[in-house]
Amino acid sequence: MIDLSTLLRRCAGAGMVLAAVAALTVAGGAAIAASPSWPQKPVSVVVPFPAGGSTDTIARMLAVPLNEKLGQPFVVDNRPGATGAIGATFVKRAPADGYTMMVASIGVYAVNPFLQKNLSYDPARDFDLLTVAVRAPNVLVANPNFPARTVQELVGYMKKNPGKVAFATSGAGSSDHLTAALFWQKSGTEGLHVPYKGGAPAISDLLAGQVDVSFQNINAVLQHIRSGKLRALAVTSDKRAAVLPNVPTMAEGGVKDVEVYSWQGVAAPRGLPADVKSRLHGALVGALNEPKMRDKLAESGFEVVANTPEQFAQFENQELRRWKTVIEQGKITIE
């Protein structure tokens, strides 16, 4: 390759200098194209929930390989409140320059529009969807002292005791609440909803026997199932979970159409530059598909999805329609 000083000495006059620079640019075009300008500073990864939950865990697991692949820190920024709406609104209003992204769950993307009046963001219009990162089924767990040992026994008990079996959830309108509502609708039963301010206190009271059963993210209760402190009745996936191979699916337990996954998706403010969107999506998919990452996620019950923005948009539309129906039929409110 001709160096700049040699090329300039061979060229005389201002016009020839410009020509020389242009020639050098062409000669080194591949190197220039391989050095994109983004990112040039840290990227904020907004999690619209408190630290310590499933979404926060996924965001922090992604931050490290994104830093390695893109050369800038990806810094998790927890902005909880209003079931994720506060953080989502912050991301909506951020510049679409690639320096703000969001890792959020099903509630933010597919539930809040039907439960929150005057919601300050539209999940289908205000974000550039990048990928559904992971998904995991919920698992129906019971305190070991509760009499039902199978889904069918639970359904029978609930029909004999309508409205008396206490279902703990992490809050009104949460994924576990909506899964319980769907279960009631499909099984023809009625349970007692006991909402908590988060999954941790709900699980704590379930362990203590203050409530009877709960649909929980599989990773949140896996250790309690393995230790015998909770009894797993069924998983809400379409097939048995690899981490709980002896636990039947809801369909195997006798209640069909209760296939529910808790999932975490990555998005950015609407209007992301095409090259930035492509590079960020590629880095995300690459990070998720690294063998060590996949193995670590699988150990906790997560399944890597890592789909395209177009597939994410299609999936989100399906989820919006589905949970709108469940909420309307169940007359669910968060007031």
The matching CATH number, chosen from 3.40.50.1820, 3.30.70.20, 2.60.120.260, 3.40.190.10, for 137-235 is 3.40.190.10
* Share of residues in the chain with pLDDT > 70 (%): 89
- CATH class of segment(s) 43-134+263-330: alpha beta
Share of residues in the chain with pLDDT > 90 (%): 79
Q: pLDDT tier at 172 (50, 70, 90 boundaries)?
A: confident
- Return the residue matching tokens 């998005």: 267
Q: Where are the domains of the chain?
A: 4-30, 43-134+263-330, 137-235
Residue 103 near residue 264, CB atoms below 8 Å: yes
Residue predicted with more confidence, 12 or 78: 78
User: Is there a common fold for 43-134+263-330 and 137-235?
Assistant: yes
pLDDT band at 200; cut points 50, 70, 90: confident
Tell me: pLDDT of 12 over 80: no
Answer yes or no: is pLDDT of 67 > 50.
Answer: yes
User: What is residue 194's predicted lDDT score, i.e. its pLDDT?
Assistant: 96
User: Does 174 score more than 70 pLDDT?
Assistant: yes
pLDDT in tens, 44-56: 999 998 888 889 9
Given a cut of 60, is residue 25 above it in pLDDT?
A: no
CA distance 261 to 249: 12
Mean pLDDT taken over the chain = 89
pLDDT at position 253, please?
96
Q: What is the pLDDT of residues 70-100, one digit of tens each?
A: 999 999 999 998 889 999 999 999 999 999 9
Report the distance separating Cα 319 and Cα 335, nearest Å.
23
Sort strands 100-105 and 74-78 into parallel, antiparallel or unpaired. unpaired
Residues paired with residue 136 on neighbouring β-strands, in sequence order:
262
pLDDT tens readout for residues 277-286:
999 999 999 9
Cα–Cα separations (whole angstroms), residue 214 to 76, 167, 230? 29, 5, 10
Would you place residue 36 in the very low, low, confident or very high pLDDT band (cuts 50, 70, 90)? low
User: pLDDT tens digit string along 100-135?
Assistant: 999 999 999 999 999 999 999 999 999 999 999 999
pLDDT of 7 higher than 60: no
Q: HSE-up of 245 (CA within 13 Å, CB side)?
A: 2
In this predicted structure, the answer to whether residue 335 has a pLDDT above a threshold of 90 is no
pLDDT for residue 9 = 46
Burial class from Cβ neighbours inside 10 Å (0-12, 13-18, 19+) for residue 205 reads: middle
